Structure 1
Amino acid sequence: MELTIRYFAGARAAAGRTEETASAGRCLDELVGELVHRHGDRMAAVLAVASFLVDGVACHDRRAPLPAGVTIDVLPPFAGG
């Protein structure tokens, strides 16, 4: 039971990849902790300011369980307008 994490811009650079998978059933805060453990301080800095989409919808409840099969988009702030 997995979910997909897609990285954009600075998150992609910090992860060194465009996407990866993780176990489902945890909340976003727990997933962020795992991603920091996997990728280190640079990723921690990106995730601290990133926005997250769950299947294309902004995630406002970071404690809600993430079900299997969803896609999490990690969107760091973008420069410009």
Structure 2
Amino acid sequence: MSALTVRYFAGARAAAGGVWTEAASATSLAELSRVLADRHGSRLGTVLDAASFLVDGLACHDRHAALPDGSTVDVLPPFAGG
């Protein structure tokens, strides 16, 4: 289990109840999404299903790839107009 820092942007922050950053533990983005949806509710779960993720500043498209311990995961919901 990797200790992570999660940062929320735009609509993801709103869906997480205004939380900007928090700690979480997970081995993959798929597991992290489940942990965060359990923590914050189904509204965030819906956003996470459509979100893009950056892991330490790099786009990660494989939701089952291992997350390195100490990583920062940015949650980027779809943005209007682009």
Secondary structure of 2:33's match?
helix
Which residue in 1 is equivalent to 2:21?
19
Which residue in 2 is equivalent to 1:55?
56
Task: Count the aligned residue pairs.
Answer: 80
Residues 19-66 of structure 1, C-alpha deviation per residue, up to 9 Å, x if partnerless? 101125x11101101111001111011111100010111112211111
Q: Following superposition, which runs of at least 4 residues in structure 1 exceed 2 angstroms of deviation?
A: none
Identical positions, percent: 66
Task: Provide the alpha-carbon RMSD of the alignment.
Answer: 1.3
Which residue in 2 is equivalent to 1:32?
33
Q: TM-score, normalised by structure 1?
A: 0.90
Q: TM-score, normalised by structure 2?
A: 0.89
* Alpha-carbon separation, structure 1, partners of 2:25 and 2:49: 21
* Alpha-carbon separation, structure 2, partners of 1:11 and 1:57: 18
Residues 8-27 of structure 1, C-alpha deviation per residue, up to 9 Å, x if partnerless? 00100011200101125x11
* Alpha-carbon separation, structure 2, partners of 1:60 and 1:41: 22
